Structure formats: structure tokens, C-alpha cells
């Protein structure tokens, strides 16, 4: 599903965010990327998903070398197959919960997007909130909406960057229980960046980053 070979990322100011990282993630794995803030976790996820380009090295996504793909080809490869969940929810504040999911479904060309969105909200225990706007929801509920938005295209890979960073521990456990359910029942591959050691028992495998390098797994 994912393969990185000697990936470096050096920013214009000289910061070396990744230093020769090599990593493979097989289909169906539930992998944690752990390390302190500034260790390169977010940069790694951005490069895996094609949101950023490596300075050098090779990046393979679902068997395709994406290092030299054009933006158009990269968008086509990712569309509906790769989804992102971030620490911040990035919901559309002027739209209802149902509309937030439906709009993404329409963009992805999902058949009957509103119906699919309603089904997802029921699955996520948010059916009673579908006509509410994001500011009317708790942090945990907003993150579940963000998960629904990620799921509407039936992705094969979900990249999650500190997905429980803005919610309390009880809600965080519920989110990770949901991730495991999706991994187990739908076969979705997860690559999750977190600095929270309390979550490590959820992962099948953990890759530790320190100062842009893999420090162990």
C-alpha cells in the first residue's frame, strides 16, 4: 500500500524534517507513527499522501511511484482511495453535518451522495445531529463528522494526523475503537501519527520517529 525509500525532506530554511526514511505499510495494516512534536510525523504523512513532495527518495502509493507524478495524475490516483483525518476538523461551518458529508461525496462522484452521507452518520451515531452545524457539536462529535467525510469515498487508505489531539481521553478511545472496527471489518489501511503513548496498544505495529529518522519499530 505504501513504500518509502530513503526519503529526505529539507525545507527552504534548511530544516531537515525527514532524513533518509524507508518504510513499508502493507494493505490492511494499522500502523502508528509515534514520536515527540517536531520529529517529522506530519511531514511523513503529507509525503505519503502526496500533499508534499520529498526533496529526494522514492515514494510509492498503491504500487505507483508518485514522486514524479503531475498534480493532475496524483489527484486522480488519490481520489476516493486516500482520505485524511487531521487534528483540526476543517468542517464547513456554514453547512450542516449532513451537507458537510454530501458535498464531499458530490466532489468525489459518489452515487447518491446524500443517501450515503445519511447512512454514514447513522453508522457514526450522529444521525440525530445531521441537521446541526459544526459549532453546535462537541469536539468528539466534530471529529466523527470528519471521519464520516473521510469515509464517504470508500477509501483504501486513511492517513490520520493526531486525530485525538483536540478531544479528551474518553472520546479519543471511542475514535480509536472506531478506527479498529473500520480496519477489521472493511480492511481499510490506517497510518496514524500520534505522540500519545496511551494509544500504542491499538496498533499492529509502531514506527518511532526522532529528529526525522526512524528510531525503531
CATH number of the domain to which 22 belongs: 3.40.50.300
Q: What is the mean pLDDT of residues 7-25?
A: 96
For the stretch 164-171, contacts whose Cβ atoms lie closer than 8 Å and that sit 24 or more positions apart, written own/partner, are 164/194, 164/196, 164/199, 165/87, 165/194, 166/87, 166/88, 166/89, 166/139, 167/139, 167/140, 167/143, 168/139, 168/140, 169/198, 171/138, 171/139, 171/140, 171/143
211 — pLDDT class (breaks 50, 70, 90): very high
Residue 198 resides in a domain: yes
Residue 119 resides in a domain: no
Roughly what angle, to the nearest 10 degrees, separates helices 97-108 and 113-123?
130
Predicted TM-score (pTM) of this structure: 0.91
Cα–Cα distance for residue pair 1/3, rounded to 1 Å: 7
E strand or H helix that includes residue 78:
helix 71-78
pLDDT in tens, 153-210: 999 999 999 888 888 888 888 889 999 999 999 999 999 999 888 889 999 999 999 9
Locate 99 and state its grid cell: 451537507
Residue 167 resides in a domain: no
What domain range is 7 assigned to?
1-81+191-217
pLDDT in tens, 92-115: 999 999 999 999 999 999 999 999
Residue 165 resides in a domain: no
Residue 195 resides in a domain: yes
Which residue, among 191, 180, 189, 146, has the nearest Cα to 166 in the 3D structure? 146
How many folded domains does the chain comprise? 1
Residue 115 resides in a domain: no
15 — pLDDT class (breaks 50, 70, 90): very high
Which residue, among 35, 51, 55, 47, has the nearest Cα to 4 in the 3D structure? 47
Residue 124 resides in a domain: no
Residue 98 resides in a domain: no
User: What is the greatest pairwise CA distance in the chain?
Assistant: 49
Amino acid at each position: 500500500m505504501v513504500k518509502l525509500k530513503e526519503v529526505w525532506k529539507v525545507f527552504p530554511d534548511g530544516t531537515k524534517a525527514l532524513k533518509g526514511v524507508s518504510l513499508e505499510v502493507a494493505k490492511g495494516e494499522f500502523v502508528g507513527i509515534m514520536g515527540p512534536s517536531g520529529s517529522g510525523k506530519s511531514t511523513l504523512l503529507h509525503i505519503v499522501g502526496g500533499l508534499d513532495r520529498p526533496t529526494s527518495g522514492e515514494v510509492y502509493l498503491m504500487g505507483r511511484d508518485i514522486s514524479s507524478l503531475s498534480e493532475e495524475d496524483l489527484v486522480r490516483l488519490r481520489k476516493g482511495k486516500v482520505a485524511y483525518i487531521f487534528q483540526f476538523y476543517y468542517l464547513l461551518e456554514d453547512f450542516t453535518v449532513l451537507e458537510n458529508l454530501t458535498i464531499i461525496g458530490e466532489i468525489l462522484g459518489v452515487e447518491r451522495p446524500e443517501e450515503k452521507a445519511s447512512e454514514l452518520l447513522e453508522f457514526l451515531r450522529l444521525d440525530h445531529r445531521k441537521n446541526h452545524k459544526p459549532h453546535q457539536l462537541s469536539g468528539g462529535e466534530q471529529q466523527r463528522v470528519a471521519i464520516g467525510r473521510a469515509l464517504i469515498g470508500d477509501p483504501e487508505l486513511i492517513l490520520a494526523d493526531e486525530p485525538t489531539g483536540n478531544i479528551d481521553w474518553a472520546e479519543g478511545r471511542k475514535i480509536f475503537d472506531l478506527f479498529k472496527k473500520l480496519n477489521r471489518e472493511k480492511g481499510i489501511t490506517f497510518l496514524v501519527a500520534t505522540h500519545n503513548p496511551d494509544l500504542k496498544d491499538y496498533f499492529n505495529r509502531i514506527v518511532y520517529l526522532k529528529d526525522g529518522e526512524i528510531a525503531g519499530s
